[in-house]
A and B are shown apart, each in its own frame.
Chain A
Amino acid sequence: MTAMTARDGKTNQAKHPIYLDYQATTPCDPRVVDAMLPYFTEKFGNPHSRNHAYGWEAEEAVELAREQVAAIIGADPKEIIFTSGATESNNLALKGVAHFYKDKKDHIITVVTEHKCVLDTCRHLETEGFKVTYLPVKPDGLIDLAELEAAITDKTAIVSVMGANNEIGVVQPLAEIGALCRKKGVFFHSDCAQAVGKIPLDVNAMNIDLMSISGHKIYGPKGIGALFVRRRPRVRLQAMINGGGQERGMRSGTLPTPLIVGLGEACRISAEEMESEGKRLMALRDRLLKGVQAKLPEIYVNGDLEHRVPGNLNISFAFVEGEGLMMGVKDLAVSSGSACTSASLEPSYVLRALGLDAEMAHTSLRLGIGRFTTEQEIDYAIDHIVEAVSRLRELSPLWEMHQEGIDIKSIVWADH
């Protein structure tokens, strides 16, 4: 594989930081790019042109992709709506359902650890008069089904719970949530941007009514995603984008054939390789975790390790601030739950929702492993992280206090 060889050589490490941020985005698989290329040039037709071969050729490619996307989640191709990505899919699912059913129902249930695009959409719907319940999570990052059941009322239109979390990778009990929602007669939407292609999903077995899918999280292109919208029992949506009535009227606009072909191919590859890739990523993740644990005391994994997608680790390195640490591991491309990485100065709301102290949230790194990560890269990462954490702990007054047996919580810190 071309991409793998390019990243394999140690000579490249000085120039390119090792990419360990696969939850942020993934490179396109070269096979995806190969599938897409003809649709930019010679097969450029508008898939909605019914009168000539250019259109038919593009339409055929779009419909094959629709089958490939449907197959990875056990859906019918007719239930797949192409969108610009998971953000649009989440917006369409929540606003579309809320607006369509607003005369009868005005309540939405979601979870505090959802992606910003779900939470912000819910906040927006609150300004329109909808009521939203934000369920808490347990310290392992999972929701309590009894709390969900208690939150559902006869005014609840939709429950939205993500498949896998983008920061801590934990996988929610989708089948149990789906069964509960079906029993109560409310729609179940799941943002599966981080779950598709990583864990087996079946919209029928799991009773999922709407599911958001992203292209660039599964080695497909950016700018494309999909929304699964169940036909039986039928889910109805009020469209956000009006126009030519494409995608069963739910999402107008000319379909971007090359991107759709890329998403389809990405789903095909992920479905085929999910099992073997999952095992490989799990082995790399365990190697990374054991490697740093063997050499560093006082490190903590955030989120449940068992109910988790294989390629995610989120670790708090106590007494070392996350942004300072990221600067120290400059040969690694990673992200942190620390405040300083965003303009807000607040540490990760996901880690805070687990009940983590702000100070521990400030010490976290998210390490995302993916299709092109090699064992050599993991070994290099272990050494690099151990070296940086050890150096920064020598620089840390908190580590010094900890070594002296002073309880940091016993000190009255001034706010600033």
Chain B
Amino acid sequence: MSYSEKVIDHYEHPRNVGSFKKDDGSVGTGLVGAPACGDVMKLQIKVSEDGIIEDAKFKTFGCGSAIASSSLVTEWVKGKTLDEAAQIKNTDIAHHLALPPVKIHCSVLAEDAIKAAIADYKKNRAGEDAQAE
């Protein structure tokens, strides 16, 4: 299978690889996929007090397209509000990376990872707020 230049670029120079501490209240972690299916993505967002995603990190087990999709979304979510980040569609990811049809599931997983990270952040905040009260 031949990959697009953008996929190769993200695969060879992945952006924002790494991890934040999970217990940091400003961090939301999304872990999606399954080892048995050949793709697991971990996407983390670090959210400022005013609700802006100020940083993002990822780690991915998967093919080149899965790595590229998750690397790309770490770039895209930075500077966005949670609502804006939740608007990112798998079709935009697939289009940007020129993914072939058999690789569309990689972009779907990346979208799921964003949503999971946002949900995790909100859950953590709700927990903290409840504790504060």
Contacts and interface: CB of A to CB of B under 8 A. Distances in A.
Interface in A399-414: 399-400, 408, 413-414
Contacts of A343: 102
B38 A400 contact: no
B34 A398 contact: no
Contacts of A338: 38, 63
A319 interface: yes
B34 A340 contact: no
Interface string A319-349: 1111110011000000000111101010100
A416 B40 contact: no
Given A321-B63, A400-B59, A413 B34 contact: yes
Contacts of A323: 38, 62-64
Given A358-B36, A416-B33, A327 B109 contact: no
A414 B108 CA distance: 14
A347 B38 CA distance: 9
B36 A396 contact: no
A395 B19 CA distance: 10
A310 B98 CA distance: 41
A321 B32 contact: no
Contact of A327 (B11, B34, B112): B11
A359 B36 contact: yes
A362 interface: yes
Assign chain A's interface to a size class. Answer: 20 to 34
B115 interface: no
A362 B39 CA distance: 9
Interface string B54-96: 0000011111101100000000000000000000000000000
B126 interface: no
A398 B38 contact: no
Given A327-B63, A396-B61, A416 B109 contact: yes
Contacts, number: 95
Nearest to B62: A321
Contacts of B62: 321, 323-324
A395 B17 CA distance: 7
Nearest to B39: A321
B64 A394 contact: no
B34 A397 contact: no
B46 interface: no
B102 to A, nearest CB: 6
A319 B61 contact: yes
A42 interface: no
Nearest to A393: B61
B36 A414 contact: no
Contacts of B59: 395-397, 400
A414 B61 contact: no
A168 to B, nearest CB: 19
Interface in B12-59: 14, 17, 19, 31-42, 59
A395 B34 contact: no
Interface of A: 319-324, 327-328, 338-341, 343, 345, 347, 357-359, 362, 394-400, 408, 413-416
Interface of B: 1, 3, 11, 14, 17, 19, 31-42, 59-64, 66-67, 102, 105, 108-109, 112
Given A345-B38, A395-B60, 19 more contacts: A321-B39, A321-B61, A322-B38, A324-B62, A328-B11, A345-B37, A358-B35, A358-B37, A359-B38, A395-B14, A396-B60, A397-B31, A398-B61, A400-B42, A408-B35, A415-B37, A416-B32, A416-B39, A416-B105
